[in-house]
Structure 1
Amino acid sequence: MDIRLLPVEQSVMMMRTESALHTITVYEGQPPIDFLRHRVAEMARANPWLAGSLVGAGGVTVLRHPVDPKGSAAVYRLPQQEGMSYSQMVAALRPMTVKTGATAVNKDEPVFCVSVLRQGKSKWWLSVSLSHVVGDAHTFYSLHNMLGESSEVKRMDAVAGAKDIAAIETSAMAHAAAGKMKQLWAHPPPVAGFHLSPAPLDQAEAAAAGGVPFVSSNDVATAWFLQQSGADLGLMTLDFRNRLPGIGVEHAGNYETSIVYQRADFESAALIHKSVSTLRGAAEPRTGEPGLLDWASSTSAVVSNWASLFKQLEFAGSSHLTHVPVLNAASMPRGNMDTAVLFESAPGKLACLVAPSRGGFSLDAAKQSGAVGEPLEAVHF
């Protein structure tokens, strides 16, 4: 069966520059390998497209899947190495990472991969990877959160009928592509990962200062990162589910856009909070919409928030140590754009991964704000 992809899912930017969505969760204990094999197979029966692959012909790419799908979890053994750096961890996970869209077309490559990695006698990793071509962060975590022993397997709607409703390829994405492609072959600094200290990111204080009754931790962290980046232009990804008729949380695919900001729009967390209801920058006077030339000639930064999507998975006999997105810096053409992913390494523990551009976000400078806490490496991958 073939599932038609959205225009944005077949775009050059998505096919050639967007890496797979990928996370690892580290546990102390023994891995429930048999359970996970059965659970992934159960998920594939409920969502046959998970067992599919990308097929292209005549300039059109589809997700083709079998009528009677099969799925399982692979088992690997990690090198006997404690205290890996983040970059070493990413390298160790390369065989378990779903390939970028264009490199997977007509190659019978999986779009979804669950792997169990043993580390020593008492530690194991759960690796989950999804092609960005077939789903966004909401899709990824909806699947990820089905893997726990107490989780419910649900059907996600990925059929073409649902996709007819949402032509969501926005001008913001096109402008962002121009910014990312400006220095396609540059060699940017490595990914920086750290937890965020709660005190400098106080939500109540930020709300009072901005004259609004409430701001979220995402509002505060987004404003903080965009300010620390020093970018001329900013983007914050936004999920369109339950904002468009017929598109809800049960829909798999790339149903997201970006709110575009100029510097005046991210001067406070309150302005970020106000922008969500209007889908535009909230500064007064209103800032203009940047054009293609603005994106190509300006520095920019984009923020994605995965923190609210995360659910800690429970397995008998294992204890959760940390949860971390896997960002492959080598495959990210960052150009003049800083990229940040906000996530929870454990419930209530907010963290940030930043893929900086040259001359953009500086971890040393960000530490001066007091918001940079424990580095991810301190968890000992």
Structure 2
Amino acid sequence: MHEPPTMLLTEFRGQFDRAAFTERLQLVIQANPWLAGRLRRTQDKGVVVTCPESCDTERHFFSLADIGLRIDCQQYSEMVSKLMAYSIPDGSQSVDKDQVLFTVLHTETGDGKFAIITSLCHCIGDGFTAYRIFGMLSHNQPVESLDAVRIPNFQRAVDAAIGPVAQAFMTSPWFIAGSLASCLRWSPFSCGLACVRPEWVEDAKKGHDATSGVPFLSTNDILTAHLCDKFDAAGATMVINFRERLEPATRNHAGNYESLAVFDERCKNPAEVRRLMMNPPDFSGGMIQMPGIMDMLAFRYPLITNWLSIQQDLCLPSCQQVVHLPIYKMAGPFFAVGVVFKPNPGKIAVLYGIRDSKCFKALQESAALDHSAPLVQ
């Protein structure tokens, strides 16, 4: 209920066809009326989404000539702060109110360019859902109706897949106290955005010992371990999409079917990250025993999320993509956050935020990241 909305931004160069885009948006919402729904509290204190009989697209689409937004990857935090004024609130602020849960913003960004920014309330969809809708807005992709009815008892299956130790860890009062204290103990987040050096990743793959019991290393394994190492992490929480991993959830299910798997200090070893990912849907091997109280209070457990496998492009007629970015406000009870994504086809980038100045400097000097390489094309 308190998670911020998933915001996705793509900047384009070309002539924006507002009428065609509005028509496309109308088709997407008609096929997925839950996008036009509202959050309502039930008698048993639960929250449901009510769908309207008809939808006014104008409540979901805003075209603003110029809000002063300039896409500058070196000024990411300032750019995000400006966009927060146009974001939808989190679910806790939307219950029993006439508050839309999905919006699309079009605005000029200067020099003949413009941006499309989508916002989806996390209560009705996770990152995978946000990208499925995002992709449908493309003129060359089919519009599909996603199943927004929650699979009964699915969370029980997720809890079993993550394992009892991880469940006990994330609900421990010591872990919760450490997460809340991190906001007071550490400095505000420092954010960085950089391209990944492909040659560095390839060298890491070639240097892998195939006799270790792990047949290969993926790009995600390598980058997850590298981020955890530079974060000086005691462990990590990693976002796992359980669609196609736990039946009967498939890519056609909208909603929240992602959850956090927990990893101990082995998260710094890419081979151990790969080992954890080799036996889906069983992720219980990530944390074998509970950390000590002092470790939980120290709270050096970053949140790592990889968008490479779920990301979809937004294609508009007669327009060229300049850059794609996750709009992520670095705040809340986290020690550090790492997001792996594609700013453009053929490029991989990392968005990171951390409260520890020494770790931030280590990432700025990382051989894996090229902070001088442009994310735009």
Q: How many Å apart are 1:281 and its aligned residue? A: 4.3
Q: Alignment partner for residue 338 of structure 1, among 321, 336, 339?
A: 336
Describe the shift of the 1:37–1:95 C-alpha distance in structure 2 as closer, same or farther (beyond 3 A): farther
Amino acid at match of 1:165: F
1:66 aligns with 2:52: yes
State the SS of the aligned residue for 1:300: coil
Kept after mapping to 1: 8 A contact 2:132/2:312: no
1:75 aligns with 2:58: no
State the SS of the aligned residue for 1:152: coil
1:251-270 to structure 2, matched below 5 A, reads 251-263=253-265, 265-270=266-271
Once the two structures are superposed, residues 51-88 of structure 1 have per-residue CA deviations (whole angstroms, 9 ceiling, x without a partner) of 01222255322212213334352201334565642122
* Partner residue, 2:7: 22
Q: Alignment partner for residue 213 of structure 1, among 212, 215, 233?
A: 215
Normalised to the residue count of structure 2, the TM-score between the two structures is 0.85
Q: How many Å apart are 1:95 and its aligned residue? A: 3.4
Kept after mapping to 2: 8 A contact 1:304/1:342: yes
Unaligned 5+ segments in structure 2 are: none
Q: Distance in 1 between matches of 2:353 and 2:250?
A: 30
1:81-160 to structure 2, matched below 5 A, reads 82=70, 84=72, 85-120=75-110, 122-160=112-150
* Partner residue, 2:317: 316
Amino acid at match of 1:74: F
Kept after mapping to 1: 8 A contact 2:69/2:108: no
Q: Alignment partner for residue 28 of structure 2, among 43, 46, 54?
A: 43
1:213-252 to structure 2, matched below 5 A, reads 213-252=215-254
Kept after mapping to 1: 8 A contact 2:364/2:371: no
Amino acid at match of 2:18: I
Q: How many Å apart are 1:106 and its aligned residue? A: 2.1
Kept after mapping to 2: 8 A contact 1:344/1:350: yes
* Partner residue, 2:180: 181
* Partner residue, 2:297: 296
Moved more, 74-83 or 90-99: 74-83
Kept after mapping to 2: 8 A contact 1:230/1:360: no
Unaligned 5+ segments in structure 1 are: 1-14
State the SS of the aligned residue for 2:233: coil
Q: Distance in 2 between matches of 1:380 and 1:141?
A: 20
Q: Alignment partner for residue 368 of structure 2, among 359, 364, 371?
A: 371
State the SS of the aligned residue for 2:133: helix
State the SS of the aligned residue for 1:117: strand
1:165 aligns with 2:154: yes
Amino acid at match of 2:48: V
Moved more, 24-33 or 180-189: 180-189
Normalised to the residue count of structure 1, the TM-score between the two structures is 0.84
Kept after mapping to 2: 8 A contact 1:158/1:253: yes
> Identity percentage over the alignment?
26
Q: Alignment partner for residue 279 of structure 1, among 271, 283, 297?
A: 283
* Partner residue, 1:12: none
State the SS of the aligned residue for 1:129: strand
1:199 aligns with 2:199: yes
Q: Alignment partner for residue 345 of structure 2, among 331, 334, 347?
A: 347
Describe the shift of the 1:220–1:111 C-alpha distance in structure 2 as closer, same or farther (beyond 3 A): same
Q: How many Å apart are 1:347 and its aligned residue? A: 1.6
Kept after mapping to 2: 8 A contact 1:78/1:118: yes
Q: Distance in 2 between matches of 1:135 and 1:49?
A: 10
Describe the shift of the 1:298–1:119 C-alpha distance in structure 2 as closer, same or farther (beyond 3 A): closer
State the SS of the aligned residue for 1:270: helix
Kept after mapping to 1: 8 A contact 2:179/2:299: no
Amino acid at match of 2:326: P
Q: Distance in 2 between matches of 1:244 and 1:81?
A: 41
Q: How many Å apart are 1:223 and its aligned residue? A: 0.6
Q: Distance in 2 between matches of 1:270 and 1:93?
A: 38
Kept after mapping to 2: 8 A contact 1:97/1:129: yes
